[in-house]
Amino acid sequence: MCGIIGYVGKRNAAKIIYEGLKRLEYRGYDSAGAAFICGGKTAVIKKEGKVEALAPYLNGVYANVGIGHTRWATHGKPSDINAHPHSAGEITIVHNGIIENYAELKETLLRDGVAFSSDTDSEVAAHLINKFYKGDLTEAVSQAVKMLKGSYALMAIRADENRIVAARYKSPLIIGYGGGENFCASDEPALAGICERITVLEDGDIAEITADGVNIYDGNLQLVIRGVLPNLAVSESLGLGDCPHYMLKELKEVPKSVQFTHKAFADVEEKLKTALSGVSRVIFVGCGTAYHAALIGKRYVESFARIPAEAETAGEFRYKNPVFGAGTAVFAISQSGETADTVEAARLAKSEGAKVIAVTNCLRSELTRAADVVVPVAAGPEICVAATKSYTGQVAALYLCALTLAGENADGERRKLLWEMPKLCKKVADNIDAGALAQMCACARGVYFLGRDIDYAVAVEGSLKLKEVSYLQGEGYPAGELKHGTLALIDGATVCVFILTDADLAGKTENAVEQVVSRGGKAAVITNVGGVEERLKNKAEYFIALPECDKYLSPLVSAVAVQMLAYRTAVILGRDPDKPRNLAKSVTVE
Ligand code: GLU
């Protein structure tokens, strides 16, 4: 989940590592650290807090070899001591992942008299490498990782060697090539603007990185050749532009996300058609926001193709002994393509003979390797931890997949409707006035998002977004279910945000508004259905008008409204919407 970066070359590693960590910070930001080889000694600097906490300590450092880490703690609270790097003897490492058998390894090491200085699982890897070191760091790393269960992307250095040895298993790691310098990092954005060619390491690979070259070995230390690819991350697209936060910038990029995803679909359409022929059941899996897109995907498939579909959170799906009959297709949805639960769910589905379709914003991710077909979400890099434009891109991609399953081709009526959506999304992103409603939410004890059918799927997304970035309590709930229990929570200190985009269901949802208001609750309505505002004008406190559109495509505009509401509320409350507490972007651990 954390971000790691390493450098070997002739320039000052301190500056390169620091800037790389800043670019990787969305992967974790509870503590950060770096280690450098300076004159045959290793200097370690690590601090609780964000990467910038390291800046004052890095000023005086000059080194040609360095490794850095920005952490999202899994084992051991965020603190200076638990921050990476971790050292054992002359060995120093950074680690991304979870060492699941760390407790038993630690017990054995303690029995051997090893002293530990942190509460992390990662520290055992440093001690194991130190234990196996007999003059060859690569050999020592190779032996140590054989003992590890779980996931790791790790880098090791030793004070008297000008090189990094890296290893990966189930956590992403790439090599970056420069002239007289080489890099290693968790992902491509970390190397944006500093190296143009990369290699994605495979599970079990071990890499030796020096200024002059990189050797990659498999688990048996046999040299292997891995492909060299262009680095697709562009540094300009990683900046804030003139927006105060990435969340706002990325909300404004929703129109492009929808448009580019639609365009990119043409490249995979035929392959998808072939893969889906004969499919009689569809399962969508995802986590968090991607699961909310899955709820909509299910609705699309059942409505357009009349094929039974399910939506499941990936973490639950894996452990419930799912049934995959002949003709099952599994759509695995993940922005990063590295979400551990989703990747494992895809692998499970594949091993059981299902067709696996990856729907992802990252085309070189683990998920794409597990899939038969990759449907691109062309949202561009998403830096804010809370997903926005990747969600709308996923919804657009799932709409296209469902239409393909239903046999509609590029000039079908529904496909044409999607081309109209970017300008409607732009209207909402540019003009929405959610400030007053956000003010009311910011003062509330609880905020509930309610809707029916497809609006319910957006309600759960609105609720999650508000929780993530504002830390307010709340829930996304089916409007019809309110009266079956949750209504007990409604009083003058609660706000209910109703999403209402389906004219056929308007009357029913309006009843729910009445039920809330009758109990002293405050209501707001986000709608594009004619007459609703008129009918509820003395009931709801606020209305947000959405542009009219086809009901199936309404999530593309209503999601922008609820996500923008979450953003405004977070700003009013003084939260950092880009880096919410306790969270990180790509959840590469289970
Ligand atoms: N498990 C390690 C720790 O808690 C690494 C966590 C991560 O990958 O962010 O320090």
Q: What is the pLDDT of residues 231-257, one digit of tens each?
A: 988 776 778 889 999 999 999 999 999
Q: Are 149 and 100 in contact (CB under 8 A)?
A: yes
Measured CA to CA, the distance from residue 224 to residue 204 in angstroms comes to: 11
pLDDT value at position 236? 64
Tell me how far apart the alpha carbons of residues 363 and 181 are, in angstroms, rounded to a whole number: 26
d(CA 173, ligand 1 centre) in Å: 15
Q: Pick the atom of ligand 1 nearest to 71's CA.
A: 9
CA of 70 to the centre of ligand 1 (A): 9
Residue 334 pLDDT:
98
Ranges of the chain whose pLDDT falls below 70 = 1, 236
Encode pLDDT of 398-414 as tens digits: 999 999 999 999 999 99
Q: Which of 27, 30, 75 to mutate to test the pocket of ligand 1 (most atoms within 8 A of CB)?
A: 75
pLDDT at 541: 96
Nearest-CA residue for ligand 1 atom 8 is: 96
Active-site residue, selected from the candidate residues 22, 131, 522, 585: 585
Pocket test for ligand 1, best of 5, 30, 98, 173 (most atoms within 8 A of CB): 98
89 CA → ligand 1 middle, Å: 21
pTM to 2 decimal places: 0.90
Give the distance (Å) from ligand 1 centre to CA of residue 99. Answer: 9
Q: How far is CA 568 from CA 133, 257, 368, 500, in A?
A: 54, 21, 35, 21
CATH number, domain 239-419, options 3.20.20.140, 3.40.50.150, 3.40.50.1970, 3.40.50.10490: 3.40.50.10490
- CA of 82 from ligand 1 middle (Å) equals 9
Distance CA 54, CA 31 (A): 9
- Whether the CB-CB separation of 188 and 226 falls below 8 Å is answered with no
Ligand 1 atom at minimal distance to the Cα of residue 584: 9
CA 479–ligand 1 middle distance (angstroms): 40
Architecture, CATH, for domain 431-577: 3-Layer(aba) Sandwich (3.40)
Return the residue matching tokens 């990787």: 24
CA distance 393 to 399: 10
Report the nearest atom of ligand 1 relative to the CA of 76: 4
Active-site entry in 2, 184, 401, 496: 2
pLDDT for 162:
94
Query: What does DSSP assign to residue 191?
Result: G
Give kind and range of the element (H or E) at residue 567. Answer: helix 555-572
Ligand 1 atom nearest residue 588's Cα:
8
Query: How far is CA 25 from each of CA 12, 113, 242, 412, rounded to the nearest angstrom?
Result: 20, 36, 20, 43
Atom of ligand 1 nearest to the CA of 69: 9
Mutation pick for ligand 1 pocket among 30, 48, 72, 148 (CB with most ligand atoms within 8 Å):
72
Domains 3-237 and 431-577 alike in fold: no
Cα–Cα distance for residue pair 338/456, rounded to 1 Å: 27
Query: How far is the centre of ligand 1, averaged over its atoms, from the C-alpha of 74 (Å)?
Result: 5
Pairing of strands 206-209, 214-217: antiparallel
Reply yes or no on whether 2 is catalytic.
yes
Nearest in space to 309 (alpha carbons), one of 279, 333, 337: 279
Helices and strands: H and E segment counts in the chain = 19, 24
Q: Which residues does a 6 A CB cutoff place in the pocket of ligand 1?
A: 1-2, 28, 71-76, 95-98, 120-122, 589
Supply the pLDDT for residue 31: 97
Structural domain boundaries in the chain: 3-237, 239-419, 431-577
**CATH fit for domain 3-237, picks 2.40.110.20, 3.10.20.740, 3.90.1150.10, 3.60.20.10:** 3.60.20.10
Q: Could you identify the atom of ligand 1 that is nearest to the CA of residue 28?
A: 9
Identify the pLDDT of residue 330. 98
